[in-house]
Amino acid sequence: MTTNSSRTNTPDAGGEAPGVPTDAELANSLDGGFRSEYATVNGLRLHYVAGGEGTPLVLLPGWPETWWEFHKVMPALAAAGRRVIALDLPGMGGSDKPATGYDKKTMAGVVHGFVRSLGYDQVDIAGHDVGAQVAFSFAVNHPEATRRVALLDVLHPDASMYQIPVLPAPGLPFFPWWFAFNQVVGLPEQLLAGRAHFLIDWVFDNFLLDQGAVTPADRAVYTRAYDTADGIRGGNGWYQTFGQDIADLGTYGQVTAPMLGLVSNLGDGMFAKQMEATLPTQGSDVRVVLVPDAGHYFVEEAPQAVIDAFNAFFV
């Protein structure tokens, strides 16, 4: 297990952590003319990074990350003739962190408003982890706005979540304890504010095969995003709405846009088996692709595999 001695400091009153590049600086570091921007949608100020020209591709990150999750793939995707737009979801990074509205249907509505605010009627969309849940909700609730959709490693919440054990049985390959921890209101903020690096390190140390794929500098970026009470509360909001998400899923039909499931072999193949069994029942045009030799955060661990899969699918 990797231990990092390089730490970001606690963010100052202005929201920045000394020694950690700003979102604008991070965006400017990418090839392809990427810029850090803001849009206001439904009263929410949303942060995004965009670059390239062509067919719009919206990227939605997962927990506990930000738009920076996609930094290794954004330049190549833009070079292939796309307008690449990585969005911090409500509750994430530089975007507002409202008190409510974290169910995936509401978040998908915000993303739809964001897309329209940029002048697009239809986009390609891809999400990882919680971002995948929002991308699915976007596709099923806004089919006219969805050209193609990719879900990375995670499916929309369903009733199987109610069967996750509180205590792991011996030999269980995967135990998502944070699903329950993040349900607790108030306490995670008290425990983690100013100490988010412990959580960030634990997550990447345990769900990467190559732990160096998310560097100390990357971890500092994510620590900054989740090191305040509001940052923790916003991210936990995505989990606290799972009950509503499960209820909403029961009202949905199939996704009509072509759908790609890109999945790791995490948990002795549990993620892949779930994706292969479930996703074909949720869409009319579905393909599932395995990313070998990489963990849950394969966008950073196996970026070329993601680039190749996206270039083959988003055509």
Catalytic residues: 129, 239, 296
Report the alpha-carbon distance of residue 31 to residue 276 in Å, rounded: 35
**How deeply is 190 buried, as exposed, middle or buried, from its count of CB atoms within 10 A (0-12, 13-18, 19+)?**
exposed
**Residues, the chain:** 315
Judge whether 113 and 86 are in contact, CB under 8 Å. no
In DSSP notation, 264-279 reads --HHHHHHHHHHHHHH
Direct distance between the N- and C-terminal alpha carbons of the chain, in angstroms, rounded to an integer: 39
Residue carrying structure tokens 């990350």 = 65
Report the alpha-carbon distance of residue 297 to residue 178 in Å, rounded: 16
Query: Rg for the chain (alpha carbons), in Å?
Result: 18
Side by side, the strands of the sheet bearing 55-60 are 35-41, 44-51, 82-87, 55-60, 123-128, 146-152, 259-263, 286-290
Q: How far is CA 285 from CA 195, 211, 307, 313, in A?
A: 44, 35, 21, 12
Q: How far is CA 251 from CA 81, 138, 254, in A?
A: 36, 14, 10
